């Protein structure tokens, strides 16, 4: 049994005549008769009583007709859904991102994506890289924008690097500059009052490891803050913070200086589960994020480069 046979059956039932049904379906009458005959053979009984004046449904045909109509309607519905997804007229993307990326790269990409495809539902999850990979593995997410420098193993995922970004030291633009030079050594940063992220942040792991490797103990004034709070405290000159360069875009209340001895970077990547084909909407979302990353890396003042 196939859709062509069911469509032929429903058309003959509606018109009560093989010749007219063949004309409507743009088939030769012998071809239409073979389709109906094959369907009858598959089902084990005649579906029509054939006469010179026309064809009428048998009891078996009467039983099949509503089922055939429903199956054809379901097939048409599936086709519409697939067409809608292919044309991005409907759909859903479940995206995860780290907190620093949610207020920078992802916010920019989602704004552009929504403007271009307003009918696509966007679900955003904000977690650290480890939590995002767990959510991706359990099927809660379609894509995850993570930092892969010092992050947990990503061997089980398809990971596409986007950017390598420097970490910079930020201070209030209302306060005097931290240094007259283009960069500041990590040892000098350790002596400054610092606003430190929550331990769930990948950034906290990176900076703690850098200070420990250099044998330094940073001077902490506030610990455990989230990104927005960290930036607000810095703007109010409570202390300084080590943050990704991209969070400074359009933040006029902050001044940044590059780190040296050592320079700290992070790699931003998109991850997905390899054995599940992404939906058309998810594929376009991934391209939108990659395009935003490329545009940011091309800025003259950027302290980031394509990975």
Region 180-187 average pLDDT? 94
CA–CA dist 234, 232 (Å, integer): 5
The whole-chain average pLDDT of the chain stands at 89
CATH 3.40.190.290 maps onto the chain at 164-265
Residue 296: band (very low, low, confident or very high) from pLDDT cuts 50, 70, 90: confident
12 membership: H or E segment, kind and range:
helix 3-15
CB 76 within 8 A of CB 105: no
Q: What tens digit of pLDDT does each residue of 284-294 get? A: 899 999 999 99
Distance of CA 134 to the CA centre of its chain: 15
CATH 3.40.190.10 maps onto the chain at 93-160+272-295+298-302
Question: What percentage of the chain exceeds 70 in pLDDT?
Answer: 94
CB 66 within 8 A of CB 11: no
Q: Which residues contact 194 (CB under 8 A, 6 or more apart)?
A: 218, 219, 220, 221, 239, 240, 241, 242
Domain 93-160+272-295+298-302 sits in CATH at 3.40.190.10
Q: What tens digit of pLDDT does each residue of 106-137 get? A: 999 999 999 988 888 899 999 988 889 999 98
Distance of CA 211 to the CA centre of its chain: 34
User: pTM above 0.75?
Assistant: no
Residue 152: band (very low, low, confident or very high) from pLDDT cuts 50, 70, 90: low
CA–CA dist 10, 28 (Å, integer): 17
Region 36-59 average pLDDT? 92
Is the CATH number of domain 3-86 1.10.10.10?
yes
CATH 1.10.10.10 maps onto the chain at 3-86
Instruction: From 17, 26, 8, select the one nearest 50 (Cα to Cα).
Output: 17
Q: Which residues contact 43 (CB under 8 A, 6 or more apart)?
A: 1, 60, 64
Secondary structure letter of residue 226 according to DSSP: -
Distance spanning both ends of the chain, measured CA to CA: 52
| DSSP string for residues in 39-75 | HHHHHTS--EEEETTEEEE-HHHHHHHHHHHHHHHHH
Domain 164-265 sits in CATH at 3.40.190.290
């Amino acid at each position: 049994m196939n859709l062509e046979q069911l469509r032929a059956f429903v058309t003959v039932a509606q018109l009560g005549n093989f010749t007219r049904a063949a004309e409507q379906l743009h088939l030769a009458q012998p071809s239409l008769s073979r389709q109906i005959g094959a369907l009858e053979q598959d089902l084990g009984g005649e579906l029509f009583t054939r006469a010179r004046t026309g064809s009428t449904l048998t009891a078996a045909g009467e039983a099949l007709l509503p089922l055939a109509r429903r199956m054809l309607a379901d097939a048409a519905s599936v086709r519409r859904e697939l067409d809608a997804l292919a044309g991005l007229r409907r759909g859903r993307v479940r995206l995860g991102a780290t907190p620093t990326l949610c207020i920078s790269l992802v916010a920019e990409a989602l704004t552009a994506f929504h403007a271009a495809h307003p009918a696509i539902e966007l679900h955003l999850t904000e977690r650290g890289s480890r939590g995002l990979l767990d959510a991706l593995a359990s099927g809660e997410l379609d894509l995850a924008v993570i930092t892969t420098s010092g992050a947990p193993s990503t061997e089980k995922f398809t990971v596409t690097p986007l950017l390598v970004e420097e970490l910079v030291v930020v201070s209030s633009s209302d306060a005097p500059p931290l240094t007259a030079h283009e960069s500041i050594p990590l040892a000098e940063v350790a002596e400054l009052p610092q606003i430190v992220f929550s331990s769930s942040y990948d950034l906290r792991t990176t900076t703690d490891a850098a200070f420990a490797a250099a044998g330094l103990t940073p001077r902490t004034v506030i610990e455990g803050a989230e990104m927005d709070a960290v930036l607000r405290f810095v703007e109010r000159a409570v202390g300084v913070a080590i943050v990704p360069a991209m969070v400074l875009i359009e933040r006029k209340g902050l001044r940044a200086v590059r780190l040296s001895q050592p320079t700290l970077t992070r790699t931003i990547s998109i991850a997905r589960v390899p054995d599940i084909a992404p939906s058309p909407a998810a594929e376009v979302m991934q391209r939108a994020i990659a395009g935003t990353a490329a545009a940011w890396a091309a800025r003259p003042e950027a302290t980031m480069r394509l990975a």
